[in-house]
């Protein structure tokens, strides 16, 4: 999430009650997760395993629960609970504002765009030209839709990320990480009925130009989908995944989190992708393998009874 204008790091420190170490004259431009941070961003870390990674990342300002050496030009904001500090900042700079009408007065709707009855458009949404938004589509706050986009009935754009912080201080429970990112949809995208595209936790979920989705597709938070991809029904993609250009996922393909599927890859129906895979190949299985090799394996599996009979017959 980018702030509307840069905020002095001293202001942030005062807001969350932090001890400030390092650059006290810095200006914070936004807040982001470690895998999405840019210079000027504020990030948080609350586990020793990730201290060094976060401090050495592109983030200029780090909310942390232990004092440490800080690189020149950066600052640490030391607090007891960095996660709660993150929530406080998000709730201040991106507060929840209830809607009172189907189309917010702050929404921008492009020329030639049609909104069918029951469509909901939230605060600060931007929809481009010549789009067709079918009945009961929900486009939530701050989402951006390009030109010539078609969204079929019942789809939700910008739902909260499925993202929780696990607490184990007394008993296991999950604390929701408030989503303040967006969904950004490119031009000439078509999205089927009853799909759900989650907003980024603090960055953007992105759907590239020309991508087409069937019904009942789910895209997780912070996922980046390239141009001209094709997703069939019941495809599910977990958070912070990268799908490069021209990828085809056939029905019921499941894709795990924080991985990359390379350009021009094709994955057959009901396959499961657990790790990054290179592009330009056809895959099948769970976990996926080269489709031709997987088919050969099936042929041999079918021969097992015959081979067994021959062995036992001897």
User: Which has more pLDDT, 313 or 297?
Assistant: 297
Which CATH code for domain 108-291? 2.160.10.10
Let me know if domain 2-93 sits in CATH 3.30.420.40.
no
Q: Is it true that 2-93 and 108-291 share their CATH fold?
A: no
Peptide linkage before 160 cis (omega within 30 of 0): no
- Residues tagged active-site: 221
Which pLDDT value is given to residue 301?
Answer: 82
Which pLDDT value is given to residue 289?
Answer: 94
Say whether 58 sits in a helix, a strand or coil: coil
- What value does the mean pLDDT take over residues 216-244? 97
Q: Strands, E, within 32-131: which ranges?
A: 41-45, 61-64, 75-78, 108-109, 114-115, 120-121, 126-127
Question: Mean pLDDT over all residues of the chain?
Answer: 94
Q: Could you give the angle at which helices 82-93 and 9-16 cross, rounded to 10 degrees?
A: 110
- Local confidence band at 170 (pLDDT 50, 70, 90 cut-offs): low
The residue whose two tokens read 């607490």 is 167
User: Which has more pLDDT, 287 or 294?
Assistant: 287
- Residue 148 token pair: 């010539």
List, as own/partner pairs, every contact residues 136-141 make where C-beta atoms lie below 8 angstroms and the sequence separation is at least 24, other chains included: 140/199, 141/97, 141/104
| Interatomic CA distance for residues 31 and 3, integer angstroms | 8
pLDDT digits (tens, 9 = 90+) for 39-59: 999 999 988 899 999 999 999
- What value does the mean pLDDT take over residues 59-73? 94
What is the rounded radius of gyration, in angstroms, for the C-alpha atoms of the chain? 23
Residues 6+ apart with CB under 8 A from 193: 134, 152, 153, 154, 155, 215, 216
- Local confidence band at 314 (pLDDT 50, 70, 90 cut-offs): low
User: Which has more pLDDT, 241 or 171?
Assistant: 241
User: Which has more pLDDT, 270 or 303?
Assistant: 270
- Residue 53 token pair: 């990674």
Say whether 20 sits in a helix, a strand or coil: strand
Q: Which helix (H) or strand (E) holds 11?
A: helix 9-16
- What value does the mean pLDDT take over residues 231-250? 98
Domain ranges of the chain: 2-93, 108-291
N-term to C-term CA, the chain:
71
Residues 6+ apart with CB under 8 A from 219: 195, 196, 197, 198, 205, 207, 225, 237
| Interatomic CA distance for residues 34 and 240, integer angstroms | 11
Which pLDDT value is given to residue 298?
Answer: 83
């Amino acid at each position: 999430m980018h702030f509307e204008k840069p905020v002095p790091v001293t202001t942030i420190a005062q807001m969350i009650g932090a001890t400030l170490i390092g650059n006290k004259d810095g200006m914070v431009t936004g807040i982001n997760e470690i895998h999405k941070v840019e210079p000027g961003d504020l990030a948080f870390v609350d586990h020793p395993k990730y201290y060094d990674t976060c401090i050495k990342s592109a983030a200029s300002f780090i909310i942390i629960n232990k004092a440490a050496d800080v690189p020149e030009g950066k600052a640490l904001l030391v607090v007891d609970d960095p996660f709660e500090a993150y929530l406080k900042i998000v709730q201040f700079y991106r507060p929840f504002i209830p809607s009172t009408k189907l189309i917010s007065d702050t929404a921008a709707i492009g020329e030639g765009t049609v909104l069918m009855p029951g469509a909901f458009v939230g605060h600060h949404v931007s929809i481009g030209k010549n789009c067709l938004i079918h009945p009961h589509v929900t486009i939530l706050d701050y989402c951006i839709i390009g030109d010539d986009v078609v969204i079929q009935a019942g789809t939700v754009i910008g739902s909260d990320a499925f993202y929780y912080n696990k607490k184990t201080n007394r008993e296991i429970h999950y604390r929701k990480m408030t989503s303040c990112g967006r969904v950004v949809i490119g031009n000439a995208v078509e999205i089927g009925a009853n799909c759900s595209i989650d907003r980024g936790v603090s960055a953007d979920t992105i759907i590239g130009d020309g991508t087409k989705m069937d019904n009942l597709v789910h895209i997780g938070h912070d996922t980046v989908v390239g141009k001209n991809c094709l997703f069939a029904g019941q495809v599910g993609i977990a958070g912070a995944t990268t799908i490069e250009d021209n990828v085809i996922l056939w029905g019921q393909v499941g894709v795990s989190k924080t991985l990359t599927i390379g350009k021009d890859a094709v994955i057959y129906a009901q396959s499961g992708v657990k790790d990054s895979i290179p592009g330009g190949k056809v895959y099948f299985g769970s976990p996926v393998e080269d489709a031709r090799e997987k088919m050969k394996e099936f042929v041999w599996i079918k021969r097992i009874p015959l081979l067994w009979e021959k062995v036992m017959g001897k």
